[in-house]
A and B are shown apart, each in its own frame.
Chain A
Amino acid sequence: MTQLWDFSGGIHPAENKHLSTTRPIAKAGLPDILVLPLQQHIGEPAEACVSVGDRVLKGQKIADVTGGMGVPVHAPTSGTIESVSLQPVPHPSGMSDWCITLRPDGQDEWGTLSPVANYRDLDREQVLDLIRDSGIAGMGGAGFPTNIKLRPPKDRKVSTLILNGAECEPYITADDMSMREKADEIIAGLRIMAWILRPERCVIAVEDNKPEAIAALRKAAEGTQTEVAVIPTKYPSGGEKQLIQLLTGMEVPSGGIPADIGVMCQNVGTAIAVSAAIFRGEPLISRITTVTGQAITNPGNFEVLIGTPIDYLLVRAGLDDNALHRLVLGGPMMGYTLETPSVPVVKTTNCVIAATASELPDPAPEQPCIRCGACAEACPMELLPQQLFWYSSSGEFDKAEHLNLFDCIECGICSYVCPSSIPLVQYYRAAKGEIRVQQAEHLKADRARERFEARQARLEREQQEKELRRKERAKAAAEAQAKKQAEAAEAEAQGQPADDRAAKAAQVQEALARKKAKNKQSAATDSNTPEKPASEPAPDIETLEKQLNQSTAKLNTMQSMLEDAKAENADNVEKLERAVTKNHDRVKRAEEALAEARHSLEAADTQTTDS
């Protein structure tokens, strides 16, 4: 008997699992069209490596991730690539994303497969590459690339490998039926992962509401070291953090990963995919999906090709269109509603609920929080949901963060138990989004400030260097002067007559002459100016235009410099302002001159035309 711990909180919602466990897993069949999103995993989207019109074989790689984290996408059947285009994909926002559309040819012809009979003969890295090349990403919900998860940080030793078969969400039975029917494959997949990770302990955790699955797993696990742990049925026992706490008594540190405490969780569906990838060489091209809800006539589990449109699947299971009120992808606690059923099944699609209005009724209007604390009682993360709600809804995000908003796993329990029908999780999601945006902006502002400070420092440094150079020059000049004087003194000492007075008088004379010449010149220009148009009857408009352009350009530069300086509160604002005014005047003068010139030219023209 495996020792179990408990996690705090949790609820026992109506299970509704019996709906879909009455029949064995059926093949969903081949739809007319398969839509394969290029991003079905966490990380970089894959890039199509086939062209429109290509015929592809079943299991052929049609898209891959070349740079960054991600896994390839494979053709689920043989057929023709019809398009690579934006199509609606399963996402809470109802967005569209790049998808490869494949028209099956009905032959279902496999490409060449290369199964590995004895994976232990290979390198662990080679096996990890096989898992990656098979396009396997976590099938429990998030879709994290399995090969990357199986390669924990070097300083983290995984001592406990947990296979998550808890399937705690109501309605969903995909894992339950897989465990009943494919227990051997699950154990085989688990053994491959265990061989890669070399843990001390392997546990498969199943909630006690699945006795058939437990029996099947126990039988399959006979003779292996694998424990089958039966855990009490309580939502969210299948949440990674809660399951780890249940089985090990340890908590994943906030902000950390399970490998930090030597634990790793994998989903049973992932184990099946790993087993198929290694022993049969088959990439991930299908999965088990529950189709259930009261608007479905024949609810059950289906082996569905990835890319199968959900409306096809609904028809296959017998949808009562008139009864359908809400279409949920995933479970009723954490799933999201679809706007349209024409989105494809992807690698993480474990359940589709076609619910009637009475089954999942619209929520009652939100009422004020009465602080009853039912949410805090039930929260599996031991948060204070009502305080988080106050702070999230009033925009006091720092306080919400202080109360560990980011530890919320969005399991939905607080909203479920709230007597005032407050959509608490929705508030937390909004707050988290808002905080992320703020953080991004903060980061941007920080960078801008750093840039500015660096620039300031550089300017200051340059100023100092300039000052230094000036001082050096002054020093050099002083030295030169001193040297000169010394030479003069030496010369005097040597008896050469240094007629100081005469020299000075000569200098004064010289200066006076210079001044006179200058005055004359300026007088000439002054007297010239008004006469200019007269002396130049056809004024050179081109030159004037050029002058104007130049001055305008200069003014613009000056102005932008001034703005910059103002924005940065630099010391040279005043100086620049003066310069701008000066340039402004200059431009004005140039404009006037140009206008005048044009005017006189026109006058001249009219005169000529008149005559």
Chain B
Amino acid sequence: MALAQQSSPHARNARSTSQVMRWVILAALPGLLAQTLFFGWGNLINVVWCTAVALAAEATILKLRKRPVTIFLKDNTAAVTGLLLGLSLPQFAPWWVSAVAVIAAIVMAKQLYGGLGSNPFNPAMVGYALVLISFPVAMTTNWAQPGLLWETGPGFGETLGMIASGQQTAVDGFTMATPLDEYKHKIATHTAAEVLQHPTFGEGVAKGWEWVNAAFLAGGLVLIGLRIITWHIPVSMLAGLAIMSLAFGSNADQYAPLSMHLLAGGTMLGAFFIATDPVSAASSHQGKLIYGAAIGILIYLIRTWGAYPDAVAFSVLLMNFAVPFIDHYTPPRTYGHHKPRRGIPGKGQG
């Protein structure tokens, strides 16, 4: 019998990309559960729809690119992209808005750049930013009114009907602006106490949102515990956001308070599930800290002084641009060397 010839190492760890992605999906489920409990069936329907479109788009493009379809579909990365978009899009976003976002993410942002591992930008955020700019009405008016699933809001069938109808604006009674949006637009003319009277805020920081963020935080901590992501990006991103908020926005009558920044938008989902996308993030520890902190700072800048109420997508995409630069200047110091070798060989200190 011929003996197997292999290059060392002969022992291998069992955790594959597919398993890593499966863990990411599992870790996002508490967040999805919280969304469903407080905002109705919309997110769940979106997640299922987006994942289905993502898998179909991935399979089609893989086939066109003559790549093995099943091997790549099994790596679960397309499913994760679909899932993240489903979690981020407004609950009553029309089906075609979601589809455009997913197809842009998979086809443009991922496969046209060479597929898994070659995309410089976070695919889900490319899709999100694209539909946010292209369909601002659909993307800002379709957020569900918070309330417990079994108490208020449309049922499963009604939600499905609204999404499937394809109308840009959903039924008025069920929707409202997000708390960050509400606060941003009202605070110019009202005091903080007056703004917080709005039903979107509830009794805590922002009704429902705080639980959704807490659930994503919990899922994220599980990912850190499983060593699927490191703490560097989430912690530096939250720290960047918090420091900006404390430094510039301590007056609640002028700017949204820190608690709202951390718990009312897509912050935790962004910090633990989106900014940590390894393909488009910085790679060294130091690089991750810079990358995360810059995202946090950008989120604050855009939310506070920019045109959009939430800013995770834009901040992540902007920092994706900077990743190659960050990576070149933040290599770790190798054992036995005095200093890390920064920069690009042949240029500067080659």
Contact = CB atoms under 8 A, between A and B. Distances in A.
A537 to B, nearest CB: 78
A344 B255 CA distance: 77
A67 interface: no
Contacts of A341: 3
Given A407-B335, A412-B8, A324 B20 contact: no
A438 to B, nearest CB: 14
A403 B1 CA distance: 42
Given A327-B3, A363-B12, A377 B281 contact: no
B332 A384 contact: yes
B7 A425 contact: yes
Contacts of A13: 11, 13
A434 interface: no
A522 interface: no
28 contacts: A11-B13, A14-B11, A241-B336, A251-B336, A254-B335, A254-B336, A324-B1, A332-B8, A332-B9, A333-B8, A335-B8, A360-B10, A362-B4, A370-B279, A371-B278, A371-B279, A373-B283, A376-B332, A381-B335, A382-B333, A383-B334, A384-B331, A386-B283, A407-B337, A413-B9, A416-B12, A419-B15, A426-B7
Interface string A296-340: 000000000000000000000000011011111010111111111
Contacts of A387: 283, 327, 331
Given A332-B11, A417-B13, A241 B20 contact: no
Interface of A: 7-8, 11, 13-14, 170, 241, 245, 251-256, 321-322, 324-328, 330, 332-341, 353, 355, 357, 360-365, 367-374, 376-377, 380-384, 386-387, 398-399, 401-404, 407, 410, 412-413, 415-421, 423, 425-426, 429
Nearest to B343: A402
A360 B116 CA distance: 28
Nearest to B331: A384
Interface in B290-346: 327, 331-337, 341, 344-346
B197 interface: no
A423 B12 CA distance: 10
B66 interface: no
Given A336-B8, A415-B9, A368 B344 contact: no
B284 A384 contact: yes
Nearest to A365: B71
Nearest to A330: B8
Given A253-B336, A365-B71, A372 B8 contact: no
Contact of B337 (A241, A254, A326, A340): A254
Contacts of B6: 326, 337, 360, 362-363
Q: What 5 pairs between A and B have smallest CB-CB spacing?
A: A412-B9, A368-B117, A254-B336, A402-B345, A332-B11
Given A360-B11, A382-B332, A416-B13, A402 B284 contact: no
B75 interface: yes
A404 B341 contact: yes
B227 A369 contact: no
Interface in B3-58: 3-13, 15-17, 19-20
Contacts of B5: 337, 339
Contact of A404 (B12, B283, B327, B337): B337
Given A368-B118, A371-B283, A252 B7 contact: no
B77 interface: yes
Interface string B133-153: 000000000000000000000
Interface in B38-90: 71, 75, 77
Given A241-B336, A365-B71, A384-B331, A337 B3 contact: yes
Contacts of A404: 334, 337, 341
Nearest to B232: A373
Given A376-B283, A377-B230, A384-B283, A254 B19 contact: no
Nearest to A333: B9
B202 interface: no
A339 B3 contact: yes
B9 A425 contact: yes
Given A362-B4, A370-B117, A403 B331 contact: yes
Contacts of B157: none
A398 B346 CA distance: 9
A382 B334 contact: yes
A201 B147 CA distance: 71
B3 A407 contact: no
Interface in B98-120: 115-118
Given A416-B13, A419-B15, 11 more contacts: A355-B10, A369-B117, A371-B279, A376-B332, A384-B284, A399-B344, A399-B345, A402-B350, A410-B8, A419-B16, A426-B7
A326 B16 contact: no
A30 B8 CA distance: 31
Contacts of A324: 1, 3
A336 B9 CA distance: 8
Q: Name the residue among A322, A330, A341, A374 with the largest chain B CB count within 10 angstroms.
A: A374
A336 B8 CA distance: 6
A340 B11 CA distance: 20
Given A13-B11, A332-B10, A416-B11, A338 B331 contact: no
A334 B4 contact: no
A386 B117 CA distance: 11
Given A14-B11, A334-B8, A402-B350, A364 B283 contact: no
Given A337-B10, A367-B116, A407 B336 contact: yes
Contact of A368 (B10, B115, B346): B115
Contact of A407 (B115, B327, B334): B334
A403 B130 CA distance: 37
B3 A370 contact: no
Contact of A381 (B15, B284, B334, B341): B334
Contact of A419 (B19, B332, B336, B345): B19
A422 to B, nearest CB: 10
Interface in B217-244: 227, 230
B341 A402 contact: yes
A326 B334 contact: no
Interface string B261-279: 0000000000000000011
A380 B345 CA distance: 24
Nearest to A261: B336
Contact of B4 (A322, A326, A333): A326
A254 B334 contact: yes
Nearest to A327: B3
* A170, A332, A340, A370 pick with most chain B CB within 10 angstroms: A370
Contacts of B15: 417, 419
A372 B336 contact: no
A382 B9 contact: no
A328 B10 contact: yes
A439 B332 CA distance: 26
B346 A325 contact: no
Given A382-B333, A384-B284, A384-B332, A401 B11 contact: no
A530 to B, nearest CB: 72
B345 A401 contact: yes
Contacts of B10: 326, 328, 332-333, 335, 337, 353, 355, 360
B257 to A, nearest CB: 34
A420 B17 contact: yes
Given A326-B4, A382-B332, A419-B20, A368 B345 contact: no
Nearest to A399: B345
B227 A377 contact: yes
Contacts of A334: 8-9
A426 B350 CA distance: 26
A415 B17 contact: no
A368 B279 CA distance: 10
Contacts of A429: 7
A376 B340 CA distance: 14
A415 B11 CA distance: 9
B339 to A, nearest CB: 11
Contacts of B327: 387
Nearest to A335: B8
